Structure 1
Amino acid sequence: MPRRSTALHLVAGGFAGTAGAILTCPLEVVKTRLQSSSLALRPFCPPAVQLQGMSGTLIRPGLPSIGVLELLRTILEKEGVRSLFRGLGPNLVGVAPSRAIYFAVYSGAKEKLNTVFVPESKKVHMLSAACAGITSSTLTNPIWLVKTRMQLEARAKCERHSSALQCAMRVYNTEGLRGFYRGITASYAGVSETVIHFVIYEALKQRLREHQLFVSPALIFSPSSPDFFGLMAAAAVSKTCASCIAYPHEVIRTRLREEGSRYRSLVQTLQLVAREEGPLALYRGLLPHLFRQIPHAAIIMVTYELVVHLATKV
């Protein structure tokens, strides 16, 4: 049974991650471009607002004024529709194992911690989510680094973009194996987001049970059932709260993953961005992030619950 349970959560997490990633790729590209430094966004910024930074590089204090729709339109005009799906390959390659690892570790850790602490308590949910986040981030960081590099590659329509393999080889040749783990410290800091997400989600799900919104397990995933909308709402609310609280780690992680970046560590990047671009720069790209993450999280959680529910009935 433990082996079957682990396999079930691996499969459920893989299906959930894949289902949530495909349709939200354009928003992720826009978010990553907004998070990046002025060097990555140079093709989209007027030279009149360039200033000399403390480290001798050009910075653009006007970057926060770039809107989501404006950047989206610029990408379409200068790079074409295909650029909105840059990094989709590594995303699809990485999202299934990432979510599978995450849900499998989360489920296994929760099962063991329930025997140590008060079962299904907030402490159990927090520790389980932390274990799952750290494990998943460590094992899949190279995939996400390649994805970020591809999404930041701004080229004209007539120019050929690098493939995932070419990007990975360039990282290895120029930075070695350590280059694939740039931004890992920010990913570890981002575990706080997953902890907050799962704690709020589990609490809301428990509240739904207490109010008997889960009338019958057979009706949970019926579109007309309040259970379906309850799970979707719980996932959306929990992810929104977590994203808003922990978002700065996303900007820091993108900066650390930039090619030839002057950003070296979590603390140094945090201080440099805040000093040169202002504290609000740490929330650049939050709007498309929320537009992507809310439906993405809802799809993932509901798909995961659906697969687990259907598998337990077999």
Structure 2
Amino acid sequence: MVSTTVFHPLDVVKIRLQVDTAARADAVLGRAVRAARHVVARDGAAGLYRGLGANLAGNCASWGLYFAWYTWIKDWMAGGGPAVAASGASTLSPAQHLAAGAAAGALTQCMANPLWVVKTRVCTTSRSDAGAYRGLLDGLARIAATEGIRGLYKGLAPGLLGVAHGGLQFMAYEEMKKLGVRSAGRRTVGDFSSAEYALMSSSSKVFALAITYPSQVLRSRLQQTPGAAAMPGAPGAPRMGSYSGLCDAAAKTLRAEGAAGFYKGFGPALLRVLPGNIVTFIVYEKTAELLRRTGASRGG
């Protein structure tokens, strides 16, 4: 919650860049600054926090659901018992980690998709725009009333394509932990320092994000408000497109913006996710190790 709140302005800028259909020549680094200035000019500094409620709900639900599903699926793959050795390192193969992460990501995406639709639409509009949502509940209610269930699940297809993100991240992360236990002669993963957890979690995140980021761009473009194809002339205003589906969005992006179009907002995305990702993994690992030691001391 803390990291989401602190870094939400980067999310707003990232999403506005993702839906921006500017040609490659116009997609320069300065667009991030101009986008932020445009938001502030329209809504003040508070505009950089539009969509915070949906972002908090989506991130908290997604992280909680993802870790739960991932752990349950790993244990199932291990035959019903904990999928960790005495050292605390996973006993599963890289392929099993990839499959468990992808499955957990797919289940989480299906459950949280409506929250991301509202977040995208709120972050790409200003309070003064006609029909702008007032917040998370208002957005959910109005989408359900005007577009039905289908509207709440816009962007699900690229979201499901992006489930490899979690699988790739956890595969790399688990393999780095196993390598660290073997190479340094540690007894358990609990012997890792916070700095080592930070390095492993950030490296695995960059690896996964670089491969799967195009699916996030396509998801944002499909989730934007219907009829948002208008092209505001104010500097920093995103020039939005209209798409009939995943293939149409991919084809139009490639044709008009080239491969670079699939990586718009990548810089703000890295700045946004890395600090929160590092904190989450350190807290998760330290808490898990504390629970393991508490259970061992009690003979559990």
Could you state the TM-score of these two structures normalised by the residue count of structure 1? 0.78
What do the CA deviations read for 1:179-238 (whole angstroms, capped 9, x no partner)? 000000011010111111111111111222223385777765xxxxxx110110001011
Alpha-carbon shift at residue 94 of structure 1 (Å): 2.5
8 A contact 1:114–1:124 mirrored in 2: no
Which residue does 1:134 correspond to in 2? 106
Which residue does 1:64 correspond to in 2? 27
Structure 2 unaligned regions, length at least 5: 84-89, 228-241, 295-300
Residue in structure 1 matching 2:17, options 34, 37, 49: 34
Residue in structure 2 matching 1:183, options 133, 141, 155: 155
Alpha-carbon shift at residue 287 of structure 1 (Å): 0.7
| Root-mean-square deviation over aligned CA pairs | 2.7
8 A contact 1:147–1:164 mirrored in 2: yes
Residue in structure 1 matching 2:216, options 241, 250, 271: 250
Which residue does 2:93 correspond to in 1? 121
Secondary structure of 1:21's partner? helix
Aligned mates of 2:43, 2:186 — CA distance in 1: 48
The 5-angstrom pairing of residues 159-308 of structure 1 reads 162-212=134-184, 220=192, 227-260=193-226, 262-308=242-288
Aligned mates of 1:144, 1:195 — CA distance in 2: 20
Distance 1:237 1:61, change over 3 A: closer
Could you state the TM-score of these two structures normalised by the residue count of structure 2? 0.81
Distance 1:310 1:61, change over 3 A: same
The 5-angstrom pairing of residues 69-108 of structure 1 reads 69-108=33-72
What do the CA deviations read for 1:67-102 (whole angstroms, capped 9, x no partner)? 322322332233211111111111222222211111
8 A contact 2:14–2:268 mirrored in 1: yes
Which residue does 1:46 correspond to in 2? none
Alpha-carbon shift at residue 244 of structure 1 (Å): 1.0
Alpha-carbon shift at residue 279 of structure 1 (Å): 2.2
Which residue does 1:309 correspond to in 2? 289
8 A contact 1:186–1:266 mirrored in 2: yes
Distance 1:187 1:164, change over 3 A: same
Runs ≥4 residues deviating over 6 A? 215-219
Secondary structure of 1:312's partner? helix
Query: What's the % identity of the aligned pairs?
Result: 28
8 A contact 1:146–1:168 mirrored in 2: yes
8 A contact 1:19–1:300 mirrored in 2: no
8 A contact 1:75–1:83 mirrored in 2: yes
8 A contact 2:126–2:132 mirrored in 1: no
Is 1:24 aligned to 2:7, yes or no?
A: yes
- Counterpart amino acid of residue 88 in structure 1: L
Which residue does 2:230 correspond to in 1? none
8 A contact 2:24–2:260 mirrored in 1: no
Which residue does 1:224 correspond to in 2? none
Residue in structure 2 matching 1:149, options 77, 99, 121: 121
Aligned mates of 1:161, 1:98 — CA distance in 2: 22
Distance 1:160 1:131, change over 3 A: closer
- Counterpart amino acid of residue 172 in structure 2: I
What do the CA deviations read for 1:101-133 (whole angstroms, capped 9, x no partner)? 111111111112124999321011011101100
